[in-house]
Amino acid sequence: MIHAMIKTSAPVREALAEGQPVVALESTIISHGMPYPRNVETALSVEQHVRDNGAVPATIAVIGGKPTVGLTPDQIEYLGREGLNVTKVSRRDLPSIMATGRDGATTVASTMILAARAGIRVFATGGIGGVHRGAEDSMDVSADLQELAQTDVAVVCAGAKAILDLPKTLEYLETHGVPVLGFGTDDLPGFYTRETGLRVDHRVESAAEIAALLRAKWDFGLSGGVLVTNPVPVEFAMARDPIDRAVEQALAEAQAQGVKGKDSTPFLLARVTELTGGDSLATNIRLVENNARLAAQIALEIAKA
Ligand code: PSU
Ligand code: MN
């Protein structure tokens, strides 16, 4: 069941062997998504939220070339401290990092790949990558979307940041047959904000309902992922104006500095965090914890069946 090339931690291995609920967590959010030391604190707190809700956390990365499912606190601290010095690893980067025995932080795409090969079906993060604004010229579409199209993992997120072209992101997911669920909402959440004015495909009200949909999809052989969007709790949501302004400025700076390719998302994330001050980081942390909670509940429902 677990791919022979994957290294698992003892708690994750035991949970999987016993059919206990496990939730995958990514590591690019640690190295490239938040500043040190809040990134490390958040990663550890998110793991604790998974445990408090009855599941086993499996933070995922490539360590010394080994796809690793279940990091130690020391490994999380290392990835967080190194930050941008750690290689950001998406699907296309996995072979070289593995073959050369290096370390890498996994994106949503590569975390899905490792989770699936370990037999984990539920994954919590903050925001996914998507179709970038101006993609009609740059063709910058995150590999996260293509992974959702093909890998059998449910990804719980708070939507996607407005650094992206959200209508095009939804179109891409529709084309590739990826269901976009709204947890207690008809409106696609916008990461820092609860609403975007765009509609999700299907509203769901409980973890049990989500698990039933996942079973229907996978039992029927409809391969690929599901995007579960979970709005940030009201008390932590931000107003749209300051976020929109920060996003516009960050995008203008990226263009002026010629930032592109895999550097684009980390650059935009860091600039939006800097421009909006501590507020947006606090929101970011709370929404990932909130997603960890829901993911654990979904994993529990799947394990029951
Ligand atoms: N969006 C966020 N925070 C993040 C990311 C995206 O709000 O940390 C990270 C995730 O790891 C995601 C990756 O998979 O950026 C997408 O990068 P790219 O657009 O280069 O595929
Ligand atoms: Mn890209």
CATH number for the domain harbouring residue 147: 3.40.1790.10
**Per the domain annotation, does 193 fall within a domain?**
yes
C-beta 179 within 6 A of ligand 1: no
What residues are neighbours of ligand 2 (ion), with CB under 5 Å?
A: 140
| 161 annotated active-site | yes
Structure confidence by residue, pLDDT tens digits, 99-124: 999 999 999 999 999 999 999 999 99
**Per the domain annotation, does 1 fall within a domain?**
no
Confidence of residue 278 (pLDDT cuts 50, 70, 90): confident
- Mean local confidence (pLDDT), 191-208: 98
**Per the domain annotation, does 2 fall within a domain?**
no
Q: What angle do the packed helices 38-52 and 278-304 form, to 10 degrees?
A: 30
What is the average pLDDT score of the chain? 97
Cβ atoms < 10 Å from Cβ of 135 = 17
**Per the domain annotation, does 33 fall within a domain?**
yes
Quote the pLDDT of residue 1: 83
Confidence of residue 305 (pLDDT cuts 50, 70, 90): confident
- Mean local confidence (pLDDT), 212-241: 97
CA of 180 to the centre of ligand 2 (A): 21
**Per the domain annotation, does 254 fall within a domain?**
yes
C-beta 269 within 6 A of ligand 1: yes
Ligand 1 pocket test target in 108, 193, 265 with most atoms within 8 Å of CB = 265
**Per the domain annotation, does 90 fall within a domain?**
yes
C-beta 132 within 6 A of ligand 1: no
Confidence of residue 277 (pLDDT cuts 50, 70, 90): confident
Overall pTM surpassing 0.95 (yes/no): yes
Domains identified in the chain, total number: 1
**With contact defined as beta carbons under 8 Å apart, do 62 and 103 qualify?**
yes
Percent of the chain with pLDDT over 70: 100
Quote the pLDDT of residue 273: 93
Per the structure, the complete domain to which residue 96 belongs is given by 7-304
**Per the domain annotation, does 259 fall within a domain?**
yes
| 262 annotated active-site | no
Structure confidence by residue, pLDDT tens digits, 45-81: 999 999 999 999 999 999 999 999 999 999 999 999 9
**Per the domain annotation, does 116 fall within a domain?**
yes
